[in-house]
Amino acid sequence: MDNLVEMRGITKRFPGVIANEDVDFELRHGEIHALLGENGAGKSTLMTVLAGLYRPEAGTILVRGNPVGFNSPRDAIDLGIGMIHQHFTLIESQTVTENILLGLDEPRFLMRLSHYDKQMAKIGEQYGLQVTPDVKIWQLSVGEQQRVEILKMLYRGVEVLIMDEPTSVLAPQEIEELFKTLRSMVEEGKSIVFISHKLNEVMTIADRITVLRQGRVTAAGIDPASTSKAELANLMVGRKVLFELEKTQREPGKVVLELQGVSADNDKRLPAMRGIDLKVRSGEIVGVAGVAGNGQSELGEVITGLRTCTGGRILVNGKEVTNRHARTSIDLGVAHIPEDRTHVGTAPNLSITDNVIMKKYREPPIARGTSLDRGAAQEMAQGLKSEYTILAPSVETPARNLSGGNLQRVILARELSSEPSLLIAMQPTRGLDVGAIEGVQQLLLEQREQGAAILLISEELEEIFTLSDRIVVIYEGEIVADGVEPDAEKVGLLMTGGSRSSSKERAA
């Protein structure tokens, strides 16, 4: 076998966690090898070991058949192995070229920057990586910054490029471009490890797939043509996942949520929403598509009363809630699945019981006069725990001990059991495993069935497409399209500002 890299019996522990247990991984010359697994499966850890950043407790690494020992990423780079992490490491105030040269022994590079600029542009061209070498990093979009990271690795002469969840920050077109670049890299004889938890992507781009579950390999180097999404999902989560959501035909009813020219600032006091008009009707799911940071968080927050509007009006069932206390929207039947589950969504130190009754402790049977009926509260929590299949030892388990999927179920139990007329669902499946995702999506469809108006804010286009009755696109704080077709290319173009350039400077 023509293995460029072999990892054998790798075990890597962190305090209290075995991140990788006796893992074997093989990378061939000129292949795109996907490392697939859900959150926490140990993908990043395994590749961070290969990139020389972590030392494993056990196991060996062979490169071109020779055993190697890495003391730093520098050692791995010297053997042609480089990793692009999920969080980039570029210096914002410096140019593309300066960033790429940083840390290299190129003594007088500052004197001949233009020479290097040309060199960068040339490598960029070779791999279809459009970058302008003399602009500063802060002027670039996230997608462009990723290209700089790739260029940096190519300039260092890597033969093996490891990319950790590279598509999570990209819009659909950018993903297409990245895939083209990856393909041209393998044509040039390079090898790529592509880390992902997304089945579709892995099926599209990989030559072979290795699956990790809870730190162990459940499938090694399989051919995408000989497997299916369902089988891969099963290997990832250890049980069957259906991929079938039932969505009925349904005519939307009366307008439940109406935004009239709503504006708001972000936390940095810069305009985040600019005069948004939007209506959501009963029994309808309106999906808001957009690249993170274009005003969608603020949109959810102004409706639920967590953020001040600087202009416009918000009506729920015809009643004005603009800049009212969050309690006003709760009383009008607004439920909220927040983006931040651990801090905004739940109280981590309180029990499941306390978390699910948060909105009901003022009402009977839980409120008894001025006191709280603990028994009634626990009884209700017990019912919700089984109805929403919250897996925990008891209803007195603190929220902080729950996994992401179970924590989200606690939130759903609390919010949905109040039979809301309006549901604001923000990134409702982010970070959940495929099985949990399907369960959450099913619950949203049930709410639609019961006549709730649902505003779905999600960065997962597939989720928006599957669930929405109507799709709107948000870009730089404006709704740039209302009622677009579920077409990734069209929506993607709108999400990135249509024909506008993606670079902040050029857009200005």
Ligand X SMILES: Nc1ncnc2c1ncn2[C@@H]1O[C@H](COP(=O)(O)OP(=O)(O)O)[C@@H](O)[C@H]1O
Tell me what percent of the chain is helix, strand and coil, each rounded to the nearest 5.
35, 25, 35
Cβ-based nearer residue to ligand X, 198 or 247: 198
Which of 479, 475, 476, 463 has the alpha carbon at shortest distance from 280?
479
Interface segment toward ligand X; rule CB under 6 A; list 43-51, 280-288, 335-343, 346-354: 43-51
Tell whether residue 19 is a contact of ligand X (CB under 6 A): yes
Tell whether residue 167 is a contact of Mg ion (CB under 5 A): no
Cβ-based nearer residue to ligand X, 41 or 262: 41
Question: How many whole angstroms separate alpha carbon 480 and alpha carbon 498?
Answer: 9
Tell whether residue 246 is a contact of ligand X (CB under 6 A): no
Please work out the total of residues on this chain that contact ligand X, with binding judged by CB under 6 A. 11
Tell whether residue 42 is a contact of ligand X (CB under 6 A): yes
Q: How far is the CB of 371 from Mg ion (least distance, A)?
A: 47
Question: How many whole angstroms separate alpha carbon 23 and alpha carbon 234?
Answer: 19
Q: How far is the CB of 391 from ligand X (least distance, A)?
A: 17
Question: How many whole angstroms separate alpha carbon 497 and alpha carbon 102?
Answer: 32
Q: What is the DSSP letter of 23?
A: E
Q: Which helix (H) or strand (E) segment is 147 a member of?
A: helix 142-155
Cβ-based nearer residue to Mg ion, 41 or 135: 41
Tell whether residue 44 is a contact of ligand X (CB under 6 A): yes
Secondary structure of residue 311 in the 3-state scheme: strand
Cβ-based nearer residue to ligand X, 211 or 390: 211
- Facing residues of 351 across strands? 398
Cβ-based nearer residue to ligand X, 41 or 209: 41
Tell whether residue 40 is a contact of ligand X (CB under 6 A): yes
Interface segment toward ligand X; rule CB under 6 A; list 32-40, 126-134, 150-158, 234-242: 32-40
Query: According to DSSP H, which parts of 287-396 are helical?
Result: 296-303, 326-331, 352-357, 374-387
Tell whether residue 14 is a contact of ligand X (CB under 6 A): yes
Q: Which residue is nearest to Mg ion (CB)?
A: 44
Tell whether residue 219 is a contact of ligand X (CB under 6 A): no
Binding partner of 260, given ligand X, Mg ion, none, CB within 5-8 angstroms per partner class: none
Neighbours of 397 (CB within 10 A): 18
Q: How far is the CB of 354 from ligand X (least distance, A)?
A: 26
Tell whether residue 57 is a contact of ligand X (CB under 6 A): no
The strand pair at 216-222 and 208-213 is best described as antiparallel
Rounded to 5°, angle at Cα 490 from 495 and 230: 95
Question: How many whole angstroms separate alpha carbon 27 and alpha carbon 83?
Answer: 14
Tell whether residue 404 is a contact of ligand X (CB under 6 A): no
Under 8 Å between Cβ of 438 and 372: no
**248 CA to centre of own chain:** 28
Contacts with Mg ion, 7-46, as mask; x by CB under 5 A? -------------------------------------x--
Which of 190, 218, 206 has the alpha carbon at shortest distance from 29?
190
Under 8 Å between Cβ of 6 and 29: no
Binding partner of 104, given ligand X, Mg ion, none, CB within 5-8 angstroms per partner class: none
Binding partner of 12, given ligand X, Mg ion, none, CB within 5-8 angstroms per partner class: none
Tell whether residue 245 is a contact of ligand X (CB under 6 A): no
Binding partner of 71, given ligand X, Mg ion, none, CB within 5-8 angstroms per partner class: none
Q: Which helix (H) or strand (E) segment is 126 a member of?
A: helix 113-126
Residues that bind Mg ion (CB under 5 A): 44
The site for ligand X (CB under 6 A) is made up of 14, 17, 19, 37, 39-45
